[in-house]
Chain A
Amino acid sequence: MEQLVENLKKQIIQALKLEDVKPEDINENEPLFGEGLGLDSIDALELIVLMEKEYGIRVENANAAKSVFTSVKTMADYIAQNKK
């Protein structure tokens, strides 16, 4: 799980072009939106693409997406549970 979280942090930084952010700057339990990394709606769409591209997981249920993309940790948990 630790490795998955680390990989995810690197992938998020690359996909969202978070130029001045390092993996160690991201607290895996902090909210990705609103506060924390301060991501926006386009970033949310990019995270959905990342999940499908890197892990083959489609998040189609909007209600589920809200909890999946709460933090890096919730994303990692979802990947661990659903990875094919």
Chain B
Amino acid sequence: MERFFISDHVRISNGQFSKNGNLIFAEDKDEPFTQTIRAFYKSLEIQHPAFYKMDNLSKLGFCAAELLLKDHNQLSLYNSQEVGILLANENSCLDTDQEYVETIKDPENYFPSPAVFVYTLPNIVIGEISIRHKIQGENIFFIQPEFDAEFMVNYANGLLESKSLKAVLVGWVEFYQDKYDAFMYFASSEKSKQNTLEHTVDTIKKIYNK
């Protein structure tokens, strides 16, 4: 059976932004998400004005991917079609759905917002990451009650074994009512300096539950 490896892994929750277990950036955990994520985005010193137009779920996923991919040039080893994205969460884009409903619920003040409407699908976050990093391989977004390491690892390894992809960005990106949690990692068959952890259910469970 072919073995696959994890390079970097990141986590964003409670105002803390960690990479490979090391705290990279922190804000007060009681700060509203919009301020926390904006401060982190500013700290990246990148030019991507579309960031400000994203919904909160996409901002969270975008920043997790940025944190994951910013130091090592993992993507340079592959062409665009060889890298995929596999994400999941619990509440889909419900937070944005509710924001959109606010714009249409009053018949006397009925102004549906196109800019909010375009984010009323959870997989838009995959689109935002794909645009930023020029990723064009297979992608899918699952809705699950909680992060299911067994399902995600087996699904990702299946994609890698089938050779339809050479690398996968895997993660959990959850946002609802200002509560957020993002966990993301990069899996591939390449074993290099950064790729020391084997991509197994046990490894991912250990990293996620740390």
A binds B: yes
Which stretch in A16-24, A26-34, A62-70 binds the other chain? A16-24
Using known A-B contacts A49-B112, A52-B111, A53-B111, determine if residue A42 contacts B118 with beta carbons closer than 8 Å: yes
Q: Is the CB of B111 within 8 A of A19?
A: no
A20–B114 CA distance with the chains assembled, in angstroms: 21
Q: Supply 8 further A-B pairs (C-beta < 8 A) apart from A42-B114, A49-B112, A52-B111.
A: A16-B115, A17-B115, A18-B49, A42-B118, A43-B115, A46-B113, A46-B114, A53-B111
Q: Is the CB of A19 within 8 A of B52?
A: yes
A38–B48 CA distance with the chains assembled, in angstroms: 12
Chain A residues whose CB sits within 8 angstroms of the CB of B112 once the complex forms: 49
Interface of B, secondary structure class, is: helix
A40–B115 CA distance with the chains assembled, in angstroms: 11
Chain A residues near B (Cβ < 8 Å): 16-20, 38, 42-43, 45-46, 49, 52-53
Q: How many B residues touch the partner, as a band?
A: under 10
A68–B143 CA distance with the chains assembled, in angstroms: 43
A52–B111 CA distance with the chains assembled, in angstroms: 8
Chain A residues whose CB sits within 8 angstroms of the CB of B49 once the complex forms: 18-20, 38
Chain B residues whose CB sits within 8 angstroms of the CB of A38 once the complex forms: 49
Interface residues of B in 114-140 (CB under 8 A from A): 114-115, 118
CB of B53 within 8 A of chain A? yes
Q: Is the CB of A46 within 8 A of B115?
A: yes
13 residue pairs bridging A and B, Cβ less than 8 Å apart: A16-B115, A17-B52, A18-B49, A19-B52, A20-B49, A42-B53, A43-B115, A45-B114, A45-B115, A46-B113, A46-B115, A49-B113, A49-B114
A72–B118 CA distance with the chains assembled, in angstroms: 25
